Amino acid sequence: TLTASIAGFDFDNVLLNAAGVYCQTASELDQILEASGAGSLVTKSATPAERDGNAGVRFAEMPLGSINSMGLPNLGLDYYLDYTITHQDEKPLFLSIAGLTKADNLAMLRDVQDSDFNGLVELNLSCPNVPGKPQTAYDFDTTREILNEVFSFYTKPLGVKLPPYFDIAHFDMIAEILNDFPLAFVNTINSIGNGLVVDPETDTVVIAPKGGFGGLGGEIVKPTALANVRALRQRLRPEIKIIGTGGVTNGRDVYDHILCGADLVSVGTSLYFEGPAIFERLNNELIAIMAEKGYNHLDEFRGRLQTL
Protein backbone atom coordinates (compact mmCIF):
# COMPACT_ATOMS: atom_id res chain seq x y z
CA THR A 1 0.00 0.00 0.00
CA LEU A 2 1.22 3.44 -0.94
CA THR A 3 -0.60 5.52 1.63
CA ALA A 4 0.56 8.61 3.49
CA SER A 5 -0.87 11.08 5.93
CA ILE A 6 -0.43 14.79 6.66
CA ALA A 7 -2.21 16.70 9.42
CA GLY A 8 -4.85 13.98 9.81
CA PHE A 9 -5.56 13.81 6.07
CA ASP A 10 -5.03 10.37 4.55
CA PHE A 11 -3.75 10.01 0.99
CA ASP A 12 -4.35 6.82 -1.03
CA ASN A 13 -1.27 7.56 -3.13
CA VAL A 14 1.82 9.67 -2.57
CA LEU A 15 1.84 11.38 -5.96
CA LEU A 16 0.41 14.72 -7.00
CA ASN A 17 1.12 17.46 -9.53
CA ALA A 18 3.63 20.18 -8.67
CA ALA A 19 1.98 23.58 -8.41
CA GLY A 20 1.87 25.34 -11.75
CA VAL A 21 1.62 22.22 -13.89
CA TYR A 22 -1.80 20.95 -15.05
CA CYS A 23 -3.67 22.97 -12.46
CA GLN A 24 -4.70 26.33 -13.86
CA THR A 25 -8.21 25.49 -15.06
CA ALA A 26 -11.00 23.29 -13.72
CA SER A 27 -10.59 21.03 -16.73
CA GLU A 28 -6.89 20.45 -15.96
CA LEU A 29 -7.60 20.02 -12.25
CA ASP A 30 -10.35 17.49 -13.07
CA GLN A 31 -7.81 15.41 -15.00
CA ILE A 32 -5.44 15.28 -12.02
CA LEU A 33 -8.31 14.59 -9.63
CA GLU A 34 -9.41 11.63 -11.75
CA ALA A 35 -5.94 10.37 -12.68
CA SER A 36 -5.23 6.84 -11.57
CA GLY A 37 -2.29 6.98 -9.19
CA ALA A 38 -2.65 10.61 -8.10
CA GLY A 39 -3.31 10.88 -4.37
CA SER A 40 -4.09 14.58 -4.41
CA LEU A 41 -3.67 17.78 -6.39
CA VAL A 42 -2.45 21.30 -5.80
CA THR A 43 -4.00 24.27 -7.54
CA LYS A 44 -2.05 26.87 -9.53
CA SER A 45 -0.66 29.44 -7.10
CA ALA A 46 -3.35 32.05 -6.64
CA THR A 47 -3.19 35.80 -6.29
CA PRO A 48 -6.20 37.78 -5.02
CA ALA A 49 -7.26 38.69 -8.58
CA GLU A 50 -6.88 36.94 -11.93
CA ARG A 51 -3.53 37.55 -13.72
CA ASP A 52 -2.38 36.99 -17.30
CA GLY A 53 1.25 36.40 -16.28
CA ASN A 54 4.34 37.35 -18.27
CA ALA A 55 4.13 38.05 -22.01
CA GLY A 56 5.68 35.98 -24.80
CA VAL A 57 7.12 32.46 -24.86
CA ARG A 58 7.42 31.62 -21.17
CA PHE A 59 8.07 27.87 -21.02
CA ALA A 60 10.67 25.89 -22.95
CA GLU A 61 12.12 22.41 -22.96
CA MET A 62 15.88 22.18 -22.46
CA PRO A 63 18.33 19.29 -22.19
CA LEU A 64 17.37 17.34 -19.04
CA GLY A 65 14.49 19.59 -18.10
CA SER A 66 12.57 22.80 -18.56
CA ILE A 67 12.87 26.54 -18.00
CA ASN A 68 9.90 28.77 -17.27
CA SER A 69 8.99 32.30 -16.40
CA MET A 70 5.22 32.18 -16.32
CA GLY A 71 4.74 35.17 -14.01
CA LEU A 72 1.85 33.78 -11.98
CA PRO A 73 -0.90 33.53 -14.58
CA ASN A 74 -3.91 32.34 -12.58
CA LEU A 75 -7.67 32.72 -12.31
CA GLY A 76 -7.68 34.32 -8.87
CA LEU A 77 -8.18 32.96 -5.36
CA ASP A 78 -11.97 32.63 -5.51
CA TYR A 79 -11.76 30.31 -8.52
CA TYR A 80 -9.39 27.86 -6.80
CA LEU A 81 -11.18 28.16 -3.47
CA ASP A 82 -14.47 27.26 -5.19
CA TYR A 83 -12.83 24.34 -7.01
CA THR A 84 -11.24 22.86 -3.90
CA ILE A 85 -14.34 23.30 -1.74
CA THR A 86 -16.47 21.65 -4.43
CA HIS A 87 -14.16 18.62 -4.61
CA GLN A 88 -12.80 18.36 -1.08
CA ASP A 89 -14.98 15.37 -0.18
CA GLU A 90 -13.33 13.28 -2.91
CA LYS A 91 -9.70 13.59 -1.78
CA PRO A 92 -7.72 15.87 0.53
CA LEU A 93 -6.60 18.78 -1.67
CA PHE A 94 -3.93 21.48 -1.58
CA LEU A 95 -4.73 25.13 -2.31
CA SER A 96 -1.62 27.09 -3.32
CA ILE A 97 -1.46 30.80 -2.65
CA ALA A 98 1.27 33.21 -3.74
CA GLY A 99 0.57 36.82 -2.91
CA LEU A 100 2.91 39.41 -4.40
CA THR A 101 2.94 41.15 -1.01
CA LYS A 102 2.61 40.07 2.60
CA ALA A 103 -0.69 41.95 2.76
CA ASP A 104 -2.04 39.92 -0.19
CA ASN A 105 -1.01 36.64 1.45
CA LEU A 106 -2.64 37.60 4.75
CA ALA A 107 -5.82 38.79 3.02
CA MET A 108 -6.10 35.54 1.04
CA LEU A 109 -5.50 33.41 4.13
CA ARG A 110 -8.22 35.31 5.98
CA ASP A 111 -10.62 34.46 3.13
CA VAL A 112 -9.59 30.78 3.29
CA GLN A 113 -9.88 30.75 7.08
CA ASP A 114 -13.44 32.17 6.88
CA SER A 115 -14.50 29.81 4.07
CA ASP A 116 -15.73 26.21 4.09
CA PHE A 117 -12.32 25.07 2.80
CA ASN A 118 -11.28 21.88 4.55
CA GLY A 119 -7.94 21.01 3.03
CA LEU A 120 -4.32 22.04 3.13
CA VAL A 121 -2.92 25.40 2.10
CA GLU A 122 0.48 25.56 0.45
CA LEU A 123 1.81 29.07 1.00
CA ASN A 124 4.26 29.70 -1.83
CA LEU A 125 7.27 31.63 -0.56
CA SER A 126 9.41 30.87 -3.59
CA CYS A 127 8.06 32.14 -6.92
CA PRO A 128 11.11 33.34 -8.90
CA ASN A 129 9.32 34.81 -11.88
CA VAL A 130 7.58 38.05 -11.01
CA PRO A 131 9.81 40.93 -12.15
CA GLY A 132 10.94 42.96 -9.14
CA LYS A 133 9.76 40.41 -6.53
CA PRO A 134 12.50 38.33 -4.91
CA GLN A 135 11.95 34.75 -3.77
CA THR A 136 10.58 35.43 -0.30
CA ALA A 137 12.10 32.46 1.48
CA TYR A 138 15.64 33.59 0.61
CA ASP A 139 14.97 36.43 3.07
CA PHE A 140 14.95 34.69 6.45
CA ASP A 141 13.74 37.69 8.50
CA THR A 142 10.80 38.31 6.17
CA THR A 143 9.92 34.61 6.19
CA ARG A 144 9.74 34.58 9.99
CA GLU A 145 7.70 37.79 10.00
CA ILE A 146 5.16 36.41 7.50
CA LEU A 147 4.77 33.15 9.41
CA ASN A 148 4.35 35.05 12.69
CA GLU A 149 1.48 37.03 11.22
CA VAL A 150 -0.07 34.04 9.45
CA PHE A 151 -0.20 31.89 12.57
CA SER A 152 -1.63 34.74 14.63
CA PHE A 153 -5.03 33.93 13.05
CA TYR A 154 -4.79 31.00 10.62
CA THR A 155 -5.78 27.67 12.21
CA LYS A 156 -6.30 25.27 9.28
CA PRO A 157 -3.44 22.99 8.12
CA LEU A 158 -0.80 25.02 6.34
CA GLY A 159 2.57 24.36 4.77
CA VAL A 160 5.11 26.37 2.81
CA LYS A 161 6.63 25.88 -0.64
CA LEU A 162 10.34 26.55 -0.40
CA PRO A 163 12.98 27.51 -2.92
CA PRO A 164 16.06 25.29 -3.13
CA TYR A 165 18.86 26.09 -0.69
CA PHE A 166 22.48 25.46 -1.59
CA ASP A 167 24.41 25.92 1.62
CA ILE A 168 24.42 23.90 4.83
CA ALA A 169 24.21 27.12 6.88
CA HIS A 170 21.03 28.03 4.99
CA PHE A 171 19.47 24.61 5.70
CA ASP A 172 20.16 25.27 9.38
CA MET A 173 18.72 28.79 9.25
CA ILE A 174 15.48 27.99 7.42
CA ALA A 175 14.83 24.90 9.56
CA GLU A 176 15.31 26.88 12.76
CA ILE A 177 12.63 29.32 11.60
CA LEU A 178 10.18 26.69 10.34
CA ASN A 179 10.45 24.66 13.56
CA ASP A 180 9.07 27.63 15.51
CA PHE A 181 5.68 27.36 13.77
CA PRO A 182 2.87 24.77 13.73
CA LEU A 183 3.43 23.92 10.07
CA ALA A 184 1.74 20.81 8.69
CA PHE A 185 4.31 20.38 5.94
CA VAL A 186 6.97 21.92 3.75
CA ASN A 187 7.18 21.36 0.01
CA THR A 188 10.73 21.37 -1.34
CA ILE A 189 11.88 22.37 -3.95
CA ASN A 190 10.41 25.02 -6.19
CA SER A 191 12.26 25.52 -9.47
CA ILE A 192 15.94 26.51 -9.32
CA GLY A 193 15.41 30.21 -9.93
CA ASN A 194 16.91 32.33 -12.65
CA GLY A 195 18.74 29.89 -14.82
CA LEU A 196 19.46 30.81 -18.43
CA VAL A 197 19.34 28.62 -21.53
CA VAL A 198 20.88 29.54 -24.91
CA ASP A 199 19.53 28.30 -28.24
CA PRO A 200 22.64 27.43 -30.29
CA GLU A 201 20.81 27.87 -33.63
CA THR A 202 19.75 31.43 -32.99
CA ASP A 203 22.17 32.62 -30.29
CA THR A 204 19.14 33.75 -28.32
CA VAL A 205 17.61 32.94 -24.99
CA VAL A 206 14.70 30.46 -25.15
CA ILE A 207 12.07 32.32 -23.12
CA ALA A 208 10.98 35.94 -23.45
CA PRO A 209 10.33 37.31 -19.94
CA LYS A 210 13.12 38.83 -17.83
CA GLY A 211 15.65 38.67 -20.68
CA GLY A 212 15.58 34.87 -20.68
CA PHE A 213 16.10 34.16 -16.97
CA GLY A 214 13.73 31.52 -15.60
CA GLY A 215 13.13 28.70 -13.14
CA LEU A 216 14.69 25.32 -13.94
CA GLY A 217 12.83 22.05 -13.47
CA GLY A 218 13.08 18.43 -14.52
CA GLU A 219 15.79 15.79 -14.32
CA ILE A 220 18.54 18.36 -13.94
CA VAL A 221 17.25 19.53 -10.54
CA LYS A 222 16.95 16.09 -8.92
CA PRO A 223 20.19 16.17 -6.85
CA THR A 224 19.31 19.62 -5.54
CA ALA A 225 15.78 18.44 -4.70
CA LEU A 226 16.99 15.33 -2.88
CA ALA A 227 19.53 17.38 -0.92
CA ASN A 228 16.78 19.74 0.22
CA VAL A 229 14.39 16.93 1.17
CA ARG A 230 17.13 15.14 3.09
CA ALA A 231 18.56 18.23 4.80
CA LEU A 232 15.13 19.40 5.91
CA ARG A 233 14.04 15.93 7.09
CA GLN A 234 17.19 15.85 9.24
CA ARG A 235 16.39 19.26 10.75
CA LEU A 236 12.61 19.70 10.98
CA ARG A 237 10.44 18.49 13.84
CA PRO A 238 8.95 15.08 12.89
CA GLU A 239 5.43 16.57 12.96
CA ILE A 240 6.31 18.71 9.92
CA LYS A 241 5.79 16.46 6.91
CA ILE A 242 7.66 16.86 3.63
CA ILE A 243 6.43 16.98 0.06
CA GLY A 244 9.39 16.20 -2.19
CA THR A 245 9.40 17.95 -5.54
CA GLY A 246 12.01 18.02 -8.28
CA GLY A 247 13.41 15.79 -10.96
CA VAL A 248 10.85 13.00 -10.87
CA THR A 249 10.62 11.16 -14.18
CA ASN A 250 10.52 7.52 -13.08
CA GLY A 251 9.67 5.27 -10.14
CA ARG A 252 13.24 5.29 -8.89
CA ASP A 253 13.05 9.08 -8.55
CA VAL A 254 9.91 8.74 -6.40
CA TYR A 255 11.65 6.06 -4.33
CA ASP A 256 14.70 8.29 -3.84
CA HIS A 257 12.57 11.20 -2.63
CA ILE A 258 10.92 8.91 -0.06
CA LEU A 259 14.28 7.44 0.95
CA CYS A 260 15.44 11.00 1.64
CA GLY A 261 12.35 11.58 3.80
CA ALA A 262 9.47 12.69 1.59
CA ASP A 263 5.89 11.86 2.66
CA LEU A 264 4.32 12.89 -0.65
CA VAL A 265 6.05 13.42 -3.99
CA SER A 266 5.00 15.89 -6.64
CA VAL A 267 5.69 15.92 -10.36
CA GLY A 268 6.12 19.05 -12.48
CA THR A 269 8.16 19.05 -15.68
CA SER A 270 7.57 15.41 -16.58
CA LEU A 271 3.83 15.78 -15.91
CA TYR A 272 3.88 18.70 -18.34
CA PHE A 273 5.43 16.52 -21.06
CA GLU A 274 3.69 13.21 -20.37
CA GLY A 275 0.29 14.23 -19.01
CA PRO A 276 -1.70 12.77 -16.10
CA ALA A 277 -1.15 9.16 -17.25
CA ILE A 278 2.31 9.56 -15.71
CA PHE A 279 0.95 8.96 -12.20
CA GLU A 280 -0.06 5.39 -12.91
CA ARG A 281 3.31 4.67 -14.57
CA LEU A 282 5.27 6.15 -11.65
CA ASN A 283 3.21 4.17 -9.12
CA ASN A 284 3.71 0.94 -11.03
CA GLU A 285 7.46 1.56 -11.25
CA LEU A 286 7.61 2.38 -7.54
CA ILE A 287 5.68 -0.78 -6.66
CA ALA A 288 8.05 -2.87 -8.79
CA ILE A 289 11.12 -1.44 -7.00
CA MET A 290 9.52 -2.04 -3.60
CA ALA A 291 8.64 -5.63 -4.56
CA GLU A 292 12.22 -6.26 -5.64
CA LYS A 293 13.43 -5.03 -2.26
CA GLY A 294 10.73 -6.88 -0.31
CA TYR A 295 8.96 -3.76 0.97
CA ASN A 296 5.19 -3.62 1.45
CA HIS A 297 4.91 -0.18 3.02
CA LEU A 298 6.57 3.17 2.43
CA ASP A 299 7.35 3.38 6.16
CA GLU A 300 9.83 0.55 5.71
CA PHE A 301 12.22 2.80 3.80
CA ARG A 302 11.03 6.40 4.23
CA GLY A 303 13.97 8.51 5.42
CA ARG A 304 16.25 5.48 5.64
CA LEU A 305 18.91 6.71 3.27
CA GLN A 306 22.28 5.12 4.13
CA THR A 307 25.49 7.09 4.35
CA LEU A 308 29.01 5.85 3.77
Q: What is the smallest separation between the CB atom of 1 and ligand DHB, expressed in angstroms?
A: 31
* Pick 133 or 281: Cβ nearer ligand DHB: 133
Q: What is the smallest separation between the CB atom of 160 and ligand DHB, expressed in angstroms?
A: 11
127 among known catalytic residues: yes
Contact residues: ligand DHB, CB under 6 A: 20, 45, 53, 69-72, 98, 124, 126-129, 190-191, 215
Q: What is the smallest separation between the CB atom of 128 and ligand DHB, expressed in angstroms?
A: 6
* Pick 127 or 220: Cβ nearer ligand DHB: 127
* Pick 20 or 303: Cβ nearer ligand DHB: 20
Point out the catalytic residue in the list 127, 183, 220, 278: 127
Q: What is the smallest separation between the CB atom of 275 and ligand DHB, expressed in angstroms?
A: 20
DSSP the chain: ---EEETTEEESSSEEEPTTSS-SSHHHHHHHHH-TTB---BPPPB-SS-B--SSS--EEEETTEEEE-----B--HHHHHHHHHHHTTTS--EEEE--SSHHHHHHHHHHHHTSS--SEEEEE-----STT---GGG-HHHHHHHHHHHTTT--S-EEEEE----SHHHHHHHHHHHTTS--SEEEE---EEEEE-EETTTTEES--GGGGEEEEESGGGHHHHHHHHHHHHHHS-TTSEEEEES---SHHHHHHHHHTT-SEEEE-HHHHHH-TTHHHHHHHHHHHHHHHHT--SGGGTTT-----
* Pick 196 or 287: Cβ nearer ligand DHB: 196
Q: What is the smallest separation between the CB atom of 73 and ligand DHB, expressed in angstroms?
A: 6
* Pick 71 or 251: Cβ nearer ligand DHB: 71
Annotated catalytic residues are 127
